[in-house]
Amino acid sequence: MILQQYKIVFGGTMGAGKSAAIKTLSDIPVIATEAVNTDTEAHAKLLTTVGIDYGEIHLEDGIKIGLYGTPGQDRFDFMWPLVCKGAIGTVILIDHTRPERLHDLEFYLNAFQAYGSNIVVGITHLDQQDDQMLKIYRDWMSIHGCCYPLFAADARQKDDVLLMIESLIASVEIQTA
């Protein structure tokens, strides 16, 4: 049986790094539900998450946080409310190389706002296409009245992923103080 004190969900586009982020942080072997990607039109990667990914991080004060990754394809959106139930927050990862990246941001923000307001946004793959970096996302959020922490993130870098997690935890601490 999986027991954790807190739960954080990773959502966002296929190939944005949700599974990689969980693998980067997890203190236990990650439980993954990957299958061969049949939607190569959406992304060329070989494997994709079709259920959930699960890992855990143990903080210095003994707190255990469950890390849950959702499938990126919207055909699996029926799973999102189940995975998000009881979560203290959501990390939304957006793949900057996708031409539809602003549409992706809007879609995933709208979808995951329904499950909770404690959200941070991480923009990945900036190393592959560095045009406008985070400016386009800040501008979009400003125009649409969204006020979420925004990070440039490499899902393979522990410090990048940890910063997003710490931001979610800090937000919870502020709300409960």
**In this predicted model, which residue has the larger pLDDT, 69 or 129?**
69
Residue identified by tokens 């939304």 is 92
Q: DSSP labels for 31-45?
A: B--EEE---TTT---
The number of beta carbons lying within 10 Å of the beta carbon of residue 170 is 11
Band (7; pLDDT cuts 50, 70, 90) = very high
Torsion of the alpha carbons at 104, 109, 110 and 113, rounded to the nearest 10: 160
Q: 65-121, pLDDT tens digit by residue?
A: 999 999 877 767 778 888 899 999 999 999 999 899 999 999 999 999 999 999 999
Pick the closest to residue 161 from 39, 24, 9 (CA basis): 24
Quick one: CA dihedral 115, 116, 118, 123, positive or negative? positive
Q: How far apart are CA 96 and CA 57, in angstroms?
A: 27
Residue 110 CB contacts under 8 Å (≥ 6 apart), including other chains? none
Note the pLDDT tens digit of each residue in 130-170: 666 899 999 999 999 999 999 999 999 999 999 999 999 99
Asked if residues 155 and 18 have their Cβ atoms less than 8 Å apart, the reply is yes
Q: How confident is the model at residue 38 (pLDDT cuts 50, 70, 90)?
A: low
Measure Cα distances from 28 to 36, 46, 58, 64, 177 in Å.
24, 24, 9, 11, 31
Any idea where the domains of the chain sit in the sequence? 6-176
Q: Report the interhelical angle of 18-25 vs 158-176 (nearest 10°).
A: 90
CATH number of 6-176: 3.40.50.300
Condensed to tens digits (0 to 9), the pLDDT of residues 40-49 reads 565 555 555 5
Residue 129 has pLDDT above 70, yes or no: no
Looking at residue 138, what is its pLDDT?
A: 95
Burial class (CB within 10 angstroms; exposed 0-12, middle 13-18, buried 19+) of 86:
exposed
pTM of the model: 0.87
Which long-range contacts does 140-143 make (Cβ < 8 Å, 24+ apart)?
140/102, 140/105, 140/106
